[in-house]
């Protein structure tokens, strides 16, 4: 299990735990760790938002264009030169020929499929990075435990040598060594 990201590794409690050989740090299960990484990663949140945008693109691609009506206002001759006054009206009805709408929808669906694939790839890569970091943390913890064990053995040897020096069994040079 790895150290929780919320605990400060330089806190006094962490220092005492590492110096005393105790492991008071919280343990995090691998599945919980990966779930939290996937939930809190900002890049992955952007990828999820891109999926929603692509879905909206499919919806907008399937909508037919709206009709429009144009009405022009009369032009008034301000110069009194006798220019005629004009009115204009118009009706615009877009007609899509040659399966343009079906192709537009197909392109939007292909974009959605690409976005989903990008998201799946981002999840895969993030899982791989999280797994690597988790294994690195486990390895570092094992190394730390081994070094703490070695340190306690060296402390024991020093205590024995100090006692031997006190009783005169060894000299000052052997004690320093």
Instruction: Give mean pLDDT, residues 132-150.
Output: 91
Q: Which residues contact 144 (CB under 8 A, 6 or more apart)?
A: 18
Instruction: Give mean pLDDT, residues 5-19.
Output: 41
pLDDT given for residue 46 in this prediction: 93
- State both tokens at 27: 């343990």
CA contacts within 13 A on the Cβ side of 142: 7
Residue 54, judged by CB atoms within 10 A of its CB (0-12, 13-18, 19+), counts as buried
- Residue 58 scores a pLDDT above 70: yes
DSSP 27: P
Q: Name the pTM for this structure.
A: 0.58
Convert the pLDDT of each residue in 102-113 to its tens digit.
Answer: 999 999 999 999
């Amino acid at each position: 299990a790895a150290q929780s990201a919320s605990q400060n590794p330089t806190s006094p409690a962490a220092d005492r735990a590492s110096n005393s050989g105790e492991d008071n740090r919280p343990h995090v299960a691998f599945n919980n760790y990966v779930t939290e990484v996937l939930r809190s990663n900002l890049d992955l949140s952007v990828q999820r938002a891109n999926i929603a945008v692509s879905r909206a693109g499919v919806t907008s691609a399937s909508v037919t264009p709206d009709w429009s009506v144009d009405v022009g206002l009369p032009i008034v001759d301000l110069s009194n030169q006798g220019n005629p006054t004009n009115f204009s009206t118009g009706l615009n009805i877009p007609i899509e020929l040659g399966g343009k709408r079906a192709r537009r929808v197909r392109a939007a669906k292909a974009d959605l499929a690409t976005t989903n694939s990008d998201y799946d790839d981002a999840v895969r890569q993030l899982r791989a990075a999280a797994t690597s970091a988790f294994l690195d943390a486990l390895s570092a913890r094992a190394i730390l435990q081994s070094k703490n064990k070695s340190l306690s053995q060296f402390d024991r040897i020093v205590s024995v040598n100090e006692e031997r020096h006190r009783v005169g069994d060894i000299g000052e040079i052997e004690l320093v060594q």
